Every structure is written in structure tokens, then in C-alpha cells.
Structure 1
Amino acid sequence: MLHRLWVLIALAGAAAHAQAPLTLRTAQQSGSIVKYDTDTPARPGLCLEILRAVERVDPALRFTGLTQKLPLKRVERLLAEQEVDVFFCLLKSPERERQWRYSPVPLYAIRHVVVQRIDDGRHFDTLAQLAQASRAKRVLVMRGTAIARHLVKAQVAITEVGSEREALQMLALGRADLIYGQDINLLRHIGDAQMGMQVKLGRTVFQEEPQYLALRADLPAAYEERLTNALRKLDKDGTLRQLAEKYR
């Protein structure tokens, strides 16, 4: 009888500590197959895989809205307008941090690099050198990204394009000499386009930045803590690192 009582007490305690069901609104980013690529089940996107890992760590937590495939600008607007609760994954910038919050756990890091034609022997070690080169031909960068704003601030003349694929085509045709972007995205598109014998990554990493989970400005603190705890577990057990390596 006493044993049964202790079992009941233990079960009651476990129930008290169980996470309550929680559903949060999100969306997919269109045009970024490294982040979201539901058409490729074996590699559905790094950010989607991190999201699913969070759900596994916290089985009572679910994300809705993944049927929405939206351009980055639209995702940012919905997050600022509190029409979505969270978004995997975004870089930080002062402008963005005025509009929403971020969980403190880095999800993965991206490196700023240039891509140039394989026969281009020039080396670019600073943004000042890129700014000088951009006077002859503008540097290609993905439209609407924080990276574009970073280059403009450094006085690099840029042309914004819709995708890495478009940028690589322009580079191959000689319409541009340099693409500036995220290594993880550029490597994926170079591989998909089988352009490894035509283009190369420059030798310099201009900047390394972590991607984070973005949270709407008024998301309850208890929800943020729950998400952050799940991400800390994934960081501690090596899951975040393993997922990032899978997509490089």
C-alpha cells in the first residue's frame, strides 16, 4: 500500500513538471534552400531541421504556419507586426533588434565570403579593397539581406539579385566579377549548379555571424525561456553542431 502511494506521488510530481502544450506561429523563408527545402526530404533545410529538433526535445511544443513560404522581407514584416511568434533563423542587426527579440543561443554561424571566377587571380582581404573593385563592376549580393546593408555601409557598390543561382549565372557570363554572401548558401548553389570548375571562394572570411531564433517583441518570457532551454539542450548534446556540418 505504501509503495503504491509513493508511485502515485511520483506520477503526480511528474505531471506537475510536464510541459504544457504550446503552439507558436512561424513561417518558412522562400528562396533559401539551405534554410528551408521541403521538396528535398533528405535535406529539408537547416532551419527546419533545428525547428524539428526543438519539437523532439519538447514534445508538447508545436509550430504552425510552415505551409507559408514567404520572402525574407515579408517574414520580417510579419515578425515586426507580431503576426508570427518566432522565426528560425535570422542574423542580428541593430535595426532588427529594435523590432523583435532573439533567443541567446546561437543556432549556427555563417561566414561572409566572396565568390569569383576560377581564373580571377585577385585577392580581396578587406572591404575597402572590395569597395575599390566595385567601382569597375558592382558586387552582387542577395536582395533584402542584412549583408547588403553591411556592404552599403562599407561603401561597396552593390547590385542586389534575387538568388544565389542568378548571381552565379551573372558571374559565369562576365556580367559581374564578385558575389558577396554566406558561405553555406553559396557552397550549396555552386554544388547544385556543378560550377566547382568555374568559380571559387576567395581566401578571406570577412566576417562570421551567428544565426539566431527570432521572437516577436511581446512574446511571453515563459515561452522564451522554454524555447531557450530546448536550444541549450541541443547545443550541449552537439545536435546544433552536427546539423550545421550536414549542410556545409
Structure 2
Amino acid sequence: MGLKAPARWQARLLFSGALLCAPLAWAQPTVLKVVAQEGTEPKFIPAGIGRVVGLCVDLYRAIERVDPGLQFVGDQQWLPLLRAHSELATHQHDALCAVQRTDERARQYVFLDPPLFQFRYQLIARADDPAVIANWDDVRKLGTQGVVLTNRGYTTPEMLERIGGLRVDSSATSPSINLHKLVAGRGRFFLHRAPGMQGFIARAGVAGKVKILPAVMASTDVYMAMGTHVDPAVRLRVQRAVEQLDRSGELAKLLKKWD
């Protein structure tokens, strides 16, 4: 025999209550599409076939731990840096990690506060170079013997143009190309960012052939950048997760890990 009417209503109420308690378990995560940006160590570092590690990969996982309803996908797929920026601007993916803010980018993306990290820029020279550099005036004094290598499509050419009075070669499209140009004598210095410079030099196969000069020539904050198409409520969730990681000291630990 079936349930009597009162019993049936009780069963329905119990089932409805179970549904109300279950949405968190059943809810699909909010997926944010990202990419691994080529030539941006230590943000993204190749680690064998089909595997990418690095500062930004760790950051995505940390945000997911803070807000399990967020999921970043695509950080194991490489894309050239310029294309990664272009595809965020055209809404083909949703976020870029550790991006320097510029006026042009601020018109294309939404930058989340607080800054994730601060990157510092230092000069790399050949191991036997006797130059002592404390500031940009020391580089200017070298004239044609002080050519600074940097990368096309990065923010460093604009930075050096603003500083002014420098001989700059920004024809290379990747940091590793510039390291090998430096070793070959096709430039006096290579301006690159820390953290992660020692590991980058070793992976490029030029350890012992170059050295990092101690002077910090510039520093800049970098941010999480998100597409203007992303739901503002989702952007706020990412921002709150970043704020929590900042307060807890987790951001500082991640930067130290990859320094």
C-alpha cells in the first residue's frame, strides 16, 4: 500500500529539505579561462612534456582553495605573450596573471587591487664584463658600448624610452633569445625582471656565462587582469580571494618560493 496523505507530505518536505541543503555540492564551479604565457618565467615555466609550473599556476590553485567555486582552466596550454594579451582584450579568455598596468591595458582590461607582487628589473651582463652599474647614468656614459637588450611586446621598451638617453635593442621576441644574443656579444646588457632570474638563466643553458648585476634599475607592481566581459560579481570574488591571500601572507610566500 502507498503512503497515507500526511506521510506523503512529510516525505515531500524531507526531500525538499535535502535539495535545499545540496546546492553547494551540486553547483557547477565558475570557470575562468586562462593561458600560460610564453617567455614569462617565473610566472609560467615549462616542466616536461605537457606540464607547466610557476608562480601564476600556484596562484590560481591558491585562489581556488580560498574560493572553491572558482576554477581556472587553461594554465597548462602555452600561448605567445602578445597573443595572450590580444585574446584577453577580445574576450577569448578571462584573466591574465601578474600583469603590469599601463594606460592602454587599463582601457582593455579590469585590474584588480591589491597588487599581486612587485617585480624588480635588473641588468644581466656577460660573466667577464667589468662594468660597474649603479644607475642609468652609468649606462648612458657607455654610449654605443652600452646597448641594452629588451623584448619586443613587453613593457620594458616603453620603460626605457621614458627613461631616455639609452641605446636599446628590442628586436628579440623572447627572453631566452636575448640571453643568447648577450652571450654572443650582440648587446652589453639585458634588462630582465626578478624573481626567478637564476633559474631562468640555468634553464636557458647560459649559467656561468652571464651574471646578474646587483643594482635594481626599476620596480613595478603587477596585478590580476580580467576581461571587461567577466561578470563583476565574479571579478569581486577573485579580488576578495586575492585580498585574503595578501592578508594571510600567502602571496609573499609564493613570491619567495619562485625567487
Larger radius of gyration: 2
Q: Helix, strand or coil for the counterpart of 1:103?
A: strand
- Counterpart check, 1:23 vs 2:31: yes
C-alpha deviations, 1:36-85, integer Å up to 9, x for none?
23535998111111011111211111123335411111111111122222
Q: Identify the residue that residue 37 of structure 1 maps to in structure 2.
A: 45
1:165 matched residue in structure 2: 176
Identify, as 1 or 2, the structure richer in strand: 2
Q: 1:194 to 1:78 in 2, by over 3 A?
A: closer
Q: Secondary structure at the match of 1:105?
A: strand
**1:164-203 paired onto structure 2 within 5 Å:** 164-193=175-204, 195-203=206-214
Deviation by residue 1:153-206 (Cα, 9 ceiling, x = unmatched): 223222222333222222222222111110224322223346453322222112
Q: 1:134/1:79 Cα in 2 relative to 1: closer, same or farther (>3 Å)?
A: farther
Alpha-carbon shift at residue 141 of structure 1 (Å): 0.8
- SS where residue 206 of structure 1 aligns? strand
In structure 2, the partner of 1:93 is 102
TM-score, normalised by the number of residues in structure 2 = 0.80
**CA 1:72 to 1:170, structure 2 compared with 1: closer, same or farther past 3 Å?**
same
SS of 2:45 mapped into structure 1: coil
How far 1:20 moved relative to its partner? 7.2
Structure-2 separation of matches of 1:222 and 1:134: 52
Answer with 104-113 or 152-161: which moved more.
152-161
Secondary structure in structure 1 of the residue aligned to 2:149: strand
Distance in 2 (CA, whole Å) between partners of 1:218 and 1:208 is: 30
Residue identity over aligned pairs, in percent, reads 27
Residue identity opposite 2:194 in structure 1: D
SS at structure 1 position matched to 2:114:
coil
**2: CA distance, partners of 1:222 / 1:73:** 28
- Residue identity opposite 2:167 in structure 1: A
Give the equivalent residue in structure 1 for 2:230.
219
Query: Which stretch shifts more, 218-227 or 127-136?
Result: 127-136
Contact 2:140–2:146 at 8 Å: present in 1 too? no
Q: Which runs of 5+ in 1 are unaligned?
A: 1-8
Tell me what 1:237 maps to: 248
Partner of 2:56: 47
8 Å CA contact 2:36–2:78 kept in 1: the answer is yes
Q: Residues 101 and 132 from structure 1, CA distance in 2 versus in 1: closer, same or farther, beyond 3 angstroms?
A: farther
Alignment of 1:120-131 (within 5 A): 120-131=129-140
In structure 2, the CA distance between the partners of 1:12 and 1:126, relative to structure 1 (3 Å rule), is: same
Aligned residues: 239
Contact 1:102 1:212 in 2 (8 A): yes
Q: Secondary structure at the match of 1:144?
A: coil
Partner secondary structure for residue 83 of structure 1: coil
**Offset of residue 101 of structure 1:** 1.4
Using the TM superposition, give the Cα deviation of residue 211 of structure 1 relative to its aligned residue in structure 2, in angstroms.
1.7
Instruction: State the distance in 1 between where 2:143 and 2:177 align.
Output: 18
CA separation of 1:123/1:209 partners in 2, compared to 1, >3 Å: closer, same or farther?
Answer: same
Change in CA separation of 1:19 and 1:215 when aligned onto 2, cut-off 3 Å: farther
1:74 partner letter: R
Check the 8 A contact 2:195/2:255 in 1, yes or no.
no
